[in-house]
Amino acid sequence: MEFDATLILIGEEEESSGRVADDARGANVIPIDQQLYQEGDEPWDRGEHVGEAYGIAITTPSGRAVCNLTFEFGDEDSIAMHGVLRVEGNAIGSGMMAVVGGTGKFHQASGSVRVEHRNPKRYRLML
């Protein structure tokens, strides 16, 4: 996978991933389990499969989700993120997260990631 300072990925959610229980006013733990694809020729189109996304989010009574997310690209390359996103309906919504580190070729990664909510999700990493 080639990348420059900006990497755009599409996250296709697994069946139970990223969903908030019907009553999101209390604290809920939300599993995140997605397949990651490079964005294709058109925005939101899936291109080549490049990895997986794993994480958890905890909702708050004020309608926010505190998220920890890791993009895994093979056995040794990963990018870790942390941030607070809005809860939109029964899903984690759009917003910004911080890139807090990585492993392998991303071992000195820092920057931010813009999460755009739609199913699938769209991640624009600025490293």
Which amino acid belongs to residue 106? Answer: F
pLDDT tens for 90-117 read 788 889 999 999 999 999 999 999 998 7
**How far lies 14's CA from each of 31, 33, 42, 99, in Å?**
10, 6, 22, 23
Residue numbers of the domain that contains 41: 15-63+82-96
Both tokens assigned to 100: 């807090």
Domain-located, residue 56: yes
Domain-located, residue 52: yes
* Mean pLDDT score of the chain: 83
Tally of structural domains, the chain:
1
Confidence bin at 123 (pLDDT 50/70/90): confident
What pLDDT is attached to residue 101? 96
Helix, strand or coil for residue 126? strand
Which is more confidently placed, 32 or 119? 32
Domain-located, residue 57: yes
* Nearest in space to 84 (alpha carbons), one of 109, 125, 53, 115: 115
Q: Is the pLDDT of residue 20 over 60?
A: no
b/e code 1-22 from CB counts within 10 Å (16+ = b):
eeeeeebbbbbebeeebbbbee
- pTM (two decimals): 0.80
